[in-house]
Amino acid sequence: MIMKFKRAIVWFRNDLRVHDNENLVRAIQSADEILPVYCFDPRMFEKTKLDFEKTGVFRAKFIRDSVSALRHKLRHLGADLIVVQGKPEEELIRLAENHRVDAIFFSQEVTKEERVLKNQLRVLRGQKA
């Protein structure tokens, strides 16, 4: 049985596709209203411990172009992409509170940083990790 929510955020992380996006499909099936969100996390643009850029110039341009294409596709479908800048564990919670969101849908990531971020979101929302 699918739980029904009034309003949900779909947080686009690395999967910036509309077509065949599992999280988007689950959100559409589970909520009356969807708020698509992309968050430019400033930590993506920091340097590693070895002084390498996490996101170089070409990757940054690719991300910017991909977010722009996602926004265009969503607008074509009658929606819009909310783009924010900041730490997702803060920005998504702020958006959820301001828009009275019942659920946040996002893809599972495999890196340690992304798993820690997912757990921080759960803790802030009062869920078990």
Contact 67, 38 (CB under 8 A): yes
Contact 125, 104 (CB under 8 A): yes
Q: Which residue has the higher pLDDT, 15 or 123?
A: 15
Domains and CATH numbers, the chain: 5-124 (3.40.50.620)
Using CB atoms within 10 A of its CB, is residue 48 exposed (0-12), middle (13-18) or buried (19+)? Answer: exposed
Model confidence pLDDT, tens digit, residues 18-34: 998 999 999 999 999 99
pLDDT at 114 over 80: no
